[in-house]
Amino acid sequence: MIRKATENDVEAVKLIGILSTQQAYEGIIPEDVLNDAITESITTERMLEQIKNRTIMLATEGEMVVGFAMYEHKQDHTHIDVIYVLPHMQNQGYGKKLLDFVETEAKDHGKLITLDIENGNVKGEEFYLSQGFEIVEYRPDTLFEYPIKRIIMKKVCN
């Protein structure tokens, strides 16, 4: 089932964020940089703020939260911040269900969906490409002063 996150879901969102970030970027980003990013970005306070200010939809299996999509509707498009699923629950369709939900909502906001992922996140890149996204560009960036390259992707919903 897909449902909107509430403040009561903050610890589940936080746990999924930590585990998924570790899995996605292990070996791509140095461990100390990754740990700093997690420690500063995935806090209870920050997740509560995100639940209030962004759209966070949860995928659940029974009562258990197994994944979430965090995104924002902009004036002419929808931007996906992340779609994360617990590592042991991946490849069971939860990410696709979350993305399908975002796509349905995006049709009311210009039909264009954008996102960016770090270069080297092969699993994420393959998932989005398999769902019809295309790579627009590679953009240099930094994460806690560590140089990274982001893959900018887009999809127009029908």
Q: Which residues contact 69 (CB under 8 A, 6 or more apart)?
A: 56, 57, 59, 80, 82, 83, 98, 99, 101, 102
Residue ranges of domains in the chain, CATH in brackets? 2-156 (3.40.630.30)
The per-residue pLDDT for 15 is: 95
- The tokens for 9 are 């879901």
Whether the CA torsion 67, 111, 79, 125 is positive or negative: it is positive
Q: By the 8 A CB rule, do 78 and 41 touch?
A: no
The per-residue pLDDT for 100 is: 96
The per-residue pLDDT for 56 is: 96
Q: Which residues contact 99 (CB under 8 A, 6 or more apart)?
A: 69, 80, 83, 131
Indicate the SS3 state at residue 158.
coil
Each residue's pLDDT tens digit, 4-60: 999 999 999 999 999 999 998 888 888 998 888 888 889 999 999 999 988 999 999
* Residues 15, 19, 22, 24, Cα dihedral to 10°: -120
The per-residue pLDDT for 28 is: 86
The per-residue pLDDT for 87 is: 94
DSSP-assigned beta bridge partners for residue 79? 72, 114
Mean pLDDT of 104-116: 90
